[in-house]
Amino acid sequence: MAAKKKRRIAILTGGGDCPGLNAVIRAVQRTAQNVYGWELWGVRNGVEGFLMPRGEGLVRLDRPAVAGILTQGGTILGASNRCDIFAVPRNRGGPKDESPRVLKLLKQKGIDVLITVGGDGTHRMAQRFVEMGIKVVGVPKTIDNDIRGTDRSFGFDTAVGTVGEAIHRLYSTAESHHRVMLVEVMGRHSGFIALHGGLGTGAEVILIPEIPYDPDRIAEKVRARREHGLNYSIVVVAEGARRPKGEMVYRTGDGSSEHTDRLGGVSYRVAEELSRRIKLEVRNIVLGHTQRGGTPSPFDRILASLYGRHAVQLIHEGKFGQMVNVRGTKLGSISIKTAASGVNKIPPRGDRVRAAREMGISFAAADGSDDPYAKARKKHGAP
């Protein structure tokens, strides 16, 4: 009987960096080598590695190459969230589709499967690779926890921990100086970091993209606390928070390009709106990329390792065009096409929002939905 062909697989880490990426790379390499005897190659700097001359963007990842990287933040391969391989800018003329170079380089290196580790943008590109005939397996990665089709993406737990520690440190100075502290966190279209970070620290107000806010409602919450002798408040603001029918706030660009435009600064707008309504001093802090960095939490290391191992299992089973996912505690997969079709959002009337409201956290909801229990309190004689 002829021996089975020894597979060569490649892995790239697309989009922004994220705690746990190295754990995925390590798990893929070890599982591929230990169980199946396969070779692993890494693509440097996301899809930009396919554009490097003489095939220099692909590097062999043997066991020594992944030794000691489990607890390292970032990615040993590098990442890029500014390159669209199907529309690469040129000095003259319009952008050029460089995807044929991907096919050519994979063929030259004898690589027959590509693992893409990234968020919705990376997997939209991965789906186009699938349509070109490339065998692709996806792994979900984003600190925002907003990838469609999976309950959890690695990096989220670490980011929430970073946000929680920052807010915890701000409470003492807020109380000492009688200030309202606005803490801006990441979350373009989904407010998972803001919601979990606020819930985990007891923030008074949480602003998320899914619930348009009214600054008058924030002021009401701050005044109510003052009436109880609490002359300080913490407001957690997702970077995608907005007023009803309002636009998101961009530091650069206007939102027309996901590769060059950058959100940020909404907390400055909220601070201005709030300062006109209350007498307390208002300060804002933008946590920015501190949320992306550092050693991944044990939970994220474990989840990333399980994802990496399961990606190799999908390859073994011939399940291409699929992205690893988790539902509850069960690992599985969904089509990359489904994962790339949108983002997960927080249900405005879901359990987590309801729990936060029942514990007294305000979302400053412009539609008045923050107080759906007024009738129940009146019925039971509660204040």
Annotated catalytic, 144?
A: yes
3-class SS string, the chain:
CCCCCCCEEEEEECCCCCCCHHHHHHHHHHHHHHHHCCEEEEECCHHHHHHCHHHCCEEECCCHHHCCCCCCCCCCCCCCCCCCCCCECCCCCCCECCHHHHHHHHHHCCCCEEEEEECHHHHHHHHHHHHHCCCEEEEEECCCCCECCCCCCECHHHHHHHHHHHHHHHHHHHHHHCEEEEEEECCCCCCHHHHHHHHHHCCCEEECCCCCECHHHHHHHHHHHHHCCCCCEEEEEECCCCCCCCCCCEEECCCCCCCCCEECCHHHHHHHHHHCCCCCEEEEEECHHHHCCCCCCHHHHHHHHHHHHHHHHHHHCCCCCEEEEEECCEEEEEEHHHHCCCECCCCCCCHHHHHHHHCCCECCECCCCCCCCHHHHHHHCCC
Question: Which residue among the candidates 144, 157, 214, 370 is catalytic per the annotation?
Answer: 144
Q: Which residues are catalytic?
A: 144
